[in-house]
Amino acid sequence: MTITSALNTAMSGLRAAGRASEVVSSNISNAMTPGYARRTLSVSSASVGFSGGVQVNGIQRHVDSQVLSDRRLAGAEFGYRSETSSFLTNIENLIGTPDQAGSLSARLSDFENSLITASSRPDANERLEAAAWAARDLAGAINTVSDGVQDARTQADRNIGTQVDRLNEALKSVERLNRQITAGSSQNSDTSSLMDQRQTLIDEISEMVPIRTVPRANDTVALYSTGGAILLDGRAAEIGFEPANIVTPYMSVGDGTLSGLTVNGFAINTTSQSGNLRGGTLGAQFEIRDELAPEAQEQMDALARDLIERFEDSTVDPTLLPGQAGLFTDANAPFDPLGEQGLASRLTVNSLVDPTAGGEAWRMRDGLGATAQGDVGNAQLLNALTDALNTTRLPNSGSFGGAAFSAIDLTAALTSQIGADRLREDQQLSFASAQFYEFTQLELADGVDTDVELQRLMAVEQAYAANARVIETVDEMIDTLMRI
């Protein structure tokens, strides 16, 4: 080996060691950076004539594509279950449990107790007023739950708008990074940082919509939802959505009062079972707005209807005329079976006894249709009102299994249904969380290990020192030759 070839070999080794130290330093400094993938320097032996050395082939970015894909799908499922579980927990809290003051069951029990108390002293006006107030509080509790359901729908609609905007931005950014990566690859530039940015964006997209990535030429990727929608293949798709200001019980996608989704101008399915973008946090918002919340509203409307019908019966209050509203009303009007939708939000106590509307408490004892006060010691109507609460009857709407219920039993059944749904969703959330955690750990295991990187750095330092020693020896040989 000539002195020149030895010097060239050592110089190539120094350059390779310098690049390797940069890669190791980058790995260590970005060990906790989201989307960062571990790098290694790819080298090979170089031989030109009688000269050798080290040739730097490039930087390799290490990613297990299968684990990454599984982690993204698990993350989408975790986000989806988190949103639906949070909704059901919120509804359960609004309804409350029987042991909680202010819950539906507690309000109904308070109303029943107030009727019993009033019937023991029907001449005591303050007890009659307490019964009227208890009836009003019960109606208000049902209104509160119904309003909470619609607030959840409104918030879900707003979340959809926000997520669609962000989804469009992220897809455009991935499209732009694909072009930059293609340009960098054609110039043999290191595109690892661009791929890190793209991975972070795709991770964000996958939380909203479960996706599959498909490799394309020049290190670019295409994105497809697991529901079959093309989100990015060369060009990013444009997702369309029109948010509503406020969502009411009477609004739905079916009647055109609520917006669905479009992809490049074409309407797509948004249901939880067969939607093109189902799953993920975006799919969860559609399920809350269009399925879970309307189901909860339907059950609340059925409860309100049952309460109204119990007291519209003339056998309970003989002073009522046919078609006249009873103790509980639909916005102070008699119940119309064709107008049940949203009834829970309109439920009110008859203004004839409502303390806040100038009502007269003695009508609780003498009847809503009474023209004047009757016998102050007659508790017959008050007892009939109590019996109406405890009479078992088949609900005329809702999904309660076709059994007959008293008012308190129907409320308990509703509470139990919501609680069971929430518990089932929490179990699904627990499984999704465990799955997401396991795939995340698998991904991290193939990530940056700082201990291993430090060991590599020590090896790089040794290689650097060895090459530096060769150069130093060559320098000494040249000095010796110059002195001859």
Q: What is the pLDDT of residues 164-178, one digit of tens each?
A: 999 999 999 999 999
Do residues 338 and 460 both lie within one domain?
no
Do residues 474 and 429 both lie within one domain?
no
Asked if residue 49 has pLDDT above 70, the reply is no
> Which residues is 115 bridged to in the sheet?
none
> What does the angle CA 424 – CA 428 – CA 433 come to, to the nearest 5 degrees?
145
Do residues 105 and 12 both lie within one domain?
no
Give a yes or no: residue 445 inside a domain: no
Fill in the DSSP letter of residue 371: S
Domain containing 82 equals 69-436
Give a yes or no: residue 442 inside a domain: no
Give a yes or no: residue 334 inside a domain: yes
Do residues 393 and 427 both lie within one domain?
yes
Please state the domain count of the chain.
2
Instruction: Report the mean per-residue pLDDT for the chain.
Output: 90
Cα 166 vs. chain centroid, distance in angstroms? 15
Give a yes or no: residue 459 inside a domain: yes
Do residues 199 and 302 both lie within one domain?
yes
pLDDT at site 1:
62
Q: Which residues of 252-278 are buried (b: 16+ CB within 10 A; e: fewer)?
A: ebeeeebbbbbbeeeebbbebeebbbb
Q: How many CA atoms lie within 13 A of 475 on its CB side?
A: 8
Cα 439 vs. chain centroid, distance in angstroms? 20
pLDDT at site 51:
63
Asked if residue 154 has pLDDT above 60, the reply is yes
What are the structure tokens assigned to 276, written together?
């093109």
Do residues 145 and 195 both lie within one domain?
yes
Tens of pLDDT, residues 358-393: 899 999 999 998 988 988 899 999 999 999 999 999
Give a yes or no: residue 441 inside a domain: no
Give a yes or no: residue 443 inside a domain: no
What are the structure tokens assigned to 356, written together?
């806040």
Asked if residue 50 has pLDDT above 60, the reply is no
Give a yes or no: residue 455 inside a domain: yes
Residue type at 410?
L
The pair phi, psi for residue 352, each rounded to 5°, is -65, -25
What are the structure tokens assigned to 294, written together?
């309307």
Confidence of residue 434 (pLDDT cuts 50, 70, 90): very high
Q: Residue 416 and residue 98: Cα distance in Å, rounded? A: 11
Q: Compute and round to an integer the Cα radius of gyration of the chain.
A: 36
Range list of β-strands (E), 96-253: 211-215, 221-225, 230-233, 235-236, 239-240
Higher-pLDDT residue of 455, 145: 145
Q: Residue 419 and residue 195: Cα distance in Å, rounded? A: 45
Q: Residue 418 and residue 106: Cα distance in Å, rounded? A: 17
Confidence of residue 264 (pLDDT cuts 50, 70, 90): very high
pLDDT at site 392:
94
Average pLDDT on 424-441 reads: 94
Do residues 120 and 242 both lie within one domain?
yes
The pair phi, psi for residue 14, each rounded to 5°, is -65, -40
Do residues 331 and 254 both lie within one domain?
yes
Q: Residue 60 and residue 70: Cα distance in Å, rounded? A: 22
Q: Residue 123 and residue 126: Cα distance in Å, rounded? A: 9
Highest averaged pLDDT of the listed ranges 140-149, 187-196, 357-366? 140-149
Q: Is the pTM of this model over 0.85?
A: yes
Q: Residue 78 and residue 233: Cα distance in Å, rounded? A: 26
Q: Residue 140 and residue 263: Cα distance in Å, rounded? A: 42
Q: Residue 213 and residue 287: Cα distance in Å, rounded? A: 25
Do residues 387 and 469 both lie within one domain?
no
> Could you tell me the CA-to-CA distances from 152 to 156, 175, 247, 401, 458 in Å, in that order?
6, 34, 9, 26, 57
What are the structure tokens assigned to 88, written together?
């059901």
The pair phi, psi for residue 197, each rounded to 5°, is -60, -45
Q: Residue 315 and residue 329: Cα distance in Å, rounded? A: 17
Asked if residue 321 has pLDDT above 90, the reply is no
Higher-pLDDT residue of 223, 11: 223
Tell me if 16 sits within 8 A of 41, measured CB to CB. Answer: yes
Do residues 28 and 74 both lie within one domain?
no
Pairing of strands 261-263, 266-268: antiparallel
Q: Which residues of 420-437 are buried (b: 16+ CB within 10 A; e: fewer)?
A: ebbeebeebbeebeebbe
Give a yes or no: residue 444 inside a domain: no
Q: Residue 379 and residue 120: Cα distance in Å, rounded? A: 7
Do residues 58 and 82 both lie within one domain?
no
Do residues 331 and 454 both lie within one domain?
no
